Amino acid sequence: MKGVANSNRRLGSGFTLIEAVLVVAISLGMTVFAVPMVTNGVNSYRQSAAVSAATGAISAIRFQAIMSGCPYQLVLTPSAMSYRVSSEVPAIGTVGCLTSFTNSSASVPLPSAGSITVTLVTCSVALTNWACTPLTDQTTVSGSTITYTFSPNGTVTTSPAGTSPAGVGLQIKNSVKSNTLWMSGVGNVGTSSP
């Protein structure tokens, strides 16, 4: 008799089929809500990484121009999500800067190519806190590249120059987020989130 009582007790301690189905249904329901949230989180991270990489590249090249005493150029190609760096820095042991941009680097990719798009934009009014306000004054600029030319004194010019007081900006966006990078004539970089 003791053996039968123990086996009945063990059978009663398991899950019924209804309980197991209920747990699976709840798990699936939670997954349905979690997957879009995780996807949006990853896309937001990718967009932030692209903004940080572009801002970092611009600042680093500006500092290289200041430190070397020779002009540098950063050519960003939005369609390829990449950039190249050129300089007028001469060979070691040579005095003075070269007269044209040489020493071009290989193409450096920005992170998250594929889910991120980069567009050249201009603002028809002066920026307010690094933002084109109202946003309707921001327009897309046609062109396949944007070139930042950094002088040894820290100033910067852009090409295409744009028709705005703010020059040309880089709008970096995906399905979750959008930021626009703007640069002042003295090389300060700011971002806006429309």
Q: What is the pLDDT of residues 92-134, one digit of tens each?
A: 877 888 888 887 888 888 886 567 888 888 887 777 777 877 7
What is the average pLDDT value for the chain, to the nearest integer? 81
Tell whether 6 is covered by a domain: no
Q: Are strands 156-159 and 146-150 parallel, antiparallel or unpaired?
A: antiparallel
The residue with greater pLDDT, 3 or 100, is: 100
Q: How many distinct structural domains can be found in the chain? A: 1
pLDDT digit string, tens, across residues 56-68: 888 899 999 999 9
The more confidently predicted of residues 160 and 26 is 26
Asked, for residue 4, whether it belongs to a domain, the answer is no
In a domain, 2, yes or no: no
178, 171 contact by CB (below 8 A): yes
Q: What is the CATH number of the domain that holds 34?
A: 3.55.40.10
Reduced to 3 states, what is the DSSP secondary structure of residue 171?
strand
163: pLDDT strictly greater than 80: no
Model pTM score: 0.75
Q: Which domain holds residue 82?
A: 12-192
Q: Is residue 7 part of a domain?
A: no
- DSSP letter at 124? S
Q: Is residue 175 part of a domain?
A: yes
Examine residue 3 and state whether it is found in any structural domain, yes or no.
Answer: no
**Contacts of 37 by beta carbon, 8 Å cutoff, 6+ apart:** none
Is 33 among the domain residues?
A: yes
Q: Is residue 133 part of a domain?
A: yes
Q: Which of 125, 165, 160 is nearest to 141 (CA)?
A: 160
